[in-house]
Amino acid sequence: MEFLLIGITALAASLLTFFSGFGLGTILLPVFAIYYPIEIAVALTAVVHLLNNLFKMGLVSKYINWSLVFKFGIPSMIAAFAGAYLLKELSIEPISLTQYHLGEKEFHVSLTGFVLGILIVLFAVIELSPKLSAYSFKKEHLISGGLISGFFGGLSGHQGALRSAFLLKLQLDKKVYIASGVMIACLVDVARLSLYSNFDILKSKDVNFYLLITAVLSAWTGAFIGNKIFKKTSIQFFKWFVGVFMLIMGLLIATGIVA
């Protein structure tokens, strides 16, 4: 069942990424979190995210705006190290905030899960609020925007919404926006994976790498389909869908229902 669920989720989320500029990590992380602790779910999602972005980069690399990547992507990569380091420190000795019962089932709210869940909810509110989603940033804010989105990308893997908030208002061609966003996301993924790879549990026999391979191949399929049809489809519905999904799953993670 988990192969089917994660495979379908990775395919659909990867397809959405072509329209919204983000979505794979946002949607896939909560599904991985059903089967793994939240810290490990973030790490596994990062692997799929990076490999999928490398695949997508091969499809759209000729449209990359390298000046934009340098001004926004390099600060993002640097800040991602800090975010990933913080996540690693939080995972060494998991801190339980509280526990409660729903019927006969007991749920535990961890500090890491609560922080990541609240971040997901925050980004969902940004996407679903007309005023916040319409807020524009100037080009001189690219470096600070890269630092902010990169830090949260390293901490939770959800830098896409903030990155979009900065890049969407630069009046970029859609292909340039997508290709440059993919390149920036790759830089963030390289930074955070360099720290996530030190998680001992990733070397455990309990981690099902066949499941990881299924997610990667499914994501590639979704990216290939998205590259074929994105010109004909509006991104508004997809942003709404991702925003609602983020809101629901963020609340479930923050409350310990999905851990």
| pLDDT tens digits, one per residue of 49-83 | 888 888 988 888 888 999 999 999 999 899 988 88
In this prediction, residue 218 carries a pLDDT of 93
- State whether residue 214 is helix, strand or coil: helix
pTM of the model: 0.70
Radius of gyration of the chain (CA): 17
Q: 């526990």: which residue's tokens?
A: 99
Rounded-to-integer distance, Cα 223 and Cα 244, Å: 22
* CA-based nearest residue to 150, from 187, 102, 97: 187
Provide the H-helix boundaries in the chain: 2-20, 24-35, 38-60, 66-68, 74-92, 111-128, 130-133, 142-156, 160-167, 174-196, 209-229, 236-254
| Helix (H) or strand (E) run with residue 106 in it | strand 105-110
Q: What does the domain layout of the chain look like in residue ranges?
A: 2-96+107-254
pLDDT digits (tens, 9 = 90+) for 90-134: 766 667 788 888 877 788 887 777 877 787 788 778 767 777 666
Q: How far is CA 56 from CA 19, 21, 38, 258, in A?
A: 13, 12, 26, 30
Q: DSSP letter at 71?
A: I
| Contact status, residue 223 vs residue 17, Cβ threshold 8 Å | yes
Rounded-to-integer distance, Cα 108 and Cα 91, Å: 15
